[in-house]
Amino acid sequence: MRLTSFLTLVAVALSACASGASETSNETTGTPATTGTPGTSTSATTGDPTTGPVTTGNTTGTPGTTGEPATTTGEPATSTTTGEPLTTTAGGTTGGPGGPGGSSGTDTTGEPLAACVSDKDCALHDDCCDCYGVPNGQVDPSCALRCDQSMCSQLGIDQAVCRFGVCITEKLDCDGSNVICKALPPKCAEGQLPGVQDGCWTGSCVPVRNCNAVPDCKLCPEGEMCVQKVSKQQTWPVCEPIPSDCGGEIDCGCAGAAVCIAPFDACNDQDGNQLSCGCPVC
């Protein structure tokens, strides 16, 4: 009987010890730490976010370069030798050699260069202010005037031609001496002449550079020569391009050979920008 009571007390004591150890274990481990959302750290006991900087989880580091896109300033490109802006236009440099009419310029030896050999080498410069011939590839600046119809369209000119190595337009009739209709010509601005067709005034005005004849050599544009065609009945001036191989010289030795053609083949030098081509049999 005493032995049984003793064993019962030992069993109770052991059970009490085991229960205390279990409670101690629960107090030390607490609840498992929560992981929180990626990139944040949490308390090991409560799971609440800690204060202070929050990390973003796995970091990738920063690339060796900034990654900023290259930017341009919009400024024109500059020459590496002079520092001046380089400007270009579609088809070539602005203005091209010689400007209107396409004068030829010179080569490395100083000899003049023809702007054209045939009509295929020429094109029209056509805007609201002007209509003239230029060498293929030359792009002259257009005027700022706005219009519904360009100048070449107004004049009915659709072709550039090569004459004496210079690009010009086809010529329109402005010879008032051939008018037989009883009508008055239109009043034209300076630098223009009334147009003529089929012996009558057309009612339109034509820039002198596009005319086949002028009443006075003073009307010929700068850079052209005045050729006076002389017959027994009349004299009429014509504006012609200076032949490209004459180096700008207007004389019978060079320019006369090009423009004084039979029957108007009697050439005489005149003052200034003029030549005379006479017809002995006319």
Name which residue leads in pLDDT, 85 or 265: 265
Residue 226, domain member (yes or no): yes
Q: Report d(CA 227, CA 250) in Å as an integer.
A: 10
Residue 4, domain member (yes or no): no
Q: Tell me, yes or no, whether 157 and 179 share the same domain.
A: no
Taking 70 as the threshold, does the pLDDT of residue 254 lie above it?
yes
Name which residue leads in pLDDT, 218 or 51: 218
* Averaged pLDDT for residues 156-173: 95
Q: Of 213, 243, 270, which residue is a domain's last?
A: 213
Task: Supply the pLDDT for residue 11.
Answer: 53
Q: Tell me, yes or no, whether 162 and 97 share the same domain.
A: yes
Q: Number of folded domains in the chain? A: 3
Angle at 122 between CA 161 and CA 126, to 5 degrees: 90
Domain range for 184 is 171-213
Q: Tell me, yes or no, whether 240 and 264 share the same domain.
A: yes
Residue 74, domain member (yes or no): no
Residue 243, domain member (yes or no): yes
Residue 228, domain member (yes or no): yes
Residue 30, domain member (yes or no): no
- The tens digit of pLDDT for each residue in 44-77 reads 333 443 334 433 344 344 444 444 444 434 444 4
Task: Tell which residue, 238, 242, 261, 259, has the closest CA to residue 174.
Answer: 238
Taking 50 as the threshold, does the pLDDT of residue 204 lie above it?
yes
Burial of 75 (0-12, 13-18, 19+ CB in 10 A): exposed
Residue 31, domain member (yes or no): no
Q: Tell me, yes or no, whether 180 and 237 share the same domain.
A: no
Burial of 264 (0-12, 13-18, 19+ CB in 10 A): buried
Q: Tell me, yes or no, whether 166 and 94 share the same domain.
A: yes
Taking 70 as the threshold, does the pLDDT of residue 240 lie above it?
yes
- The tens digit of pLDDT for each residue in 87-145 reads 333 333 333 344 566 554 544 444 456 789 999 999 999 999 999 999 999 999 999 99
Residue 193, domain member (yes or no): yes
